[in-house]
Amino acid sequence: MPTVQVTDLKDDDFLLDVREVDEWQAGHAQGALHIPISEFVARYGELTEAAPQDGRVHVICRSGGRSAQVTMYLAQQGIDAANVDGGMQLWAEAGRPVVTDDGRPGFVL
């Protein structure tokens, strides 16, 4: 399964956050698309509408387990996807911004 390190992500890379609503509300990467894993299959069309047609989907969760499951599913659908190793925990540790919906600083739940 393709995996990418947080430090290798560029600011304009497409990011899909599959954590649950309470985790997202506590803090997330600015500009990420949020579709909780529990709703992913039902909301799959939102991803296909938002994702770049010729780009990679970088999938993130808290630590990398849930995002690995979604990454494998996307690969089976023929979508270029990569799991973000270490998830939002490593995102925050690397000093990448974590924000709330209103743009204030957030935290990883």
In a domain, 76, yes or no: yes
Q: Which domain holds residue 10?
A: 3-98
In a domain, 41, yes or no: yes
Q: How many domains does the chain have?
A: 1
pLDDT per position in the chain (109 positions), as tens?
899 999 999 989 999 999 999 999 999 999 999 999 999 999 999 999 999 988 999 999 999 999 999 999 999 999 999 999 999 999 999 999 999 999 899 999 9
In a domain, 103, yes or no: no
For residue 48, what is the domain's CATH number? 3.40.250.10
In a domain, 109, yes or no: no
In a domain, 78, yes or no: yes
The pTM for the full model equals 0.96
Q: How far is CA 43 from CA 36, 83, 107, in A?
A: 9, 19, 25
Residue 28 near residue 99, CB atoms below 8 Å: yes
In a domain, 92, yes or no: yes
